[in-house]
Amino acid sequence: MILRHRIVTISLAVAALFVIAGCSGTPLSTREKGTLGGAGIGAATGAIIGAAVGAPGVGAAIGAGLGGVTGYAVGNHMQNTENANAQTQSQVQQQQQEIEQQRQQLQQLKSQQETE
Contact predicate 72/40, CB 8 Å: no
Each residue of 45-83: pLDDT tens digit? 888 888 888 887 888 888 888 888 999 999 999 999 999
- Reply yes or no on whether the pLDDT at 7 is more than 70: no
Provide the whole-model pTM: 0.64
Q: At what angle do helices 56-115 and 2-22 cross, to 10 degrees?
A: 20
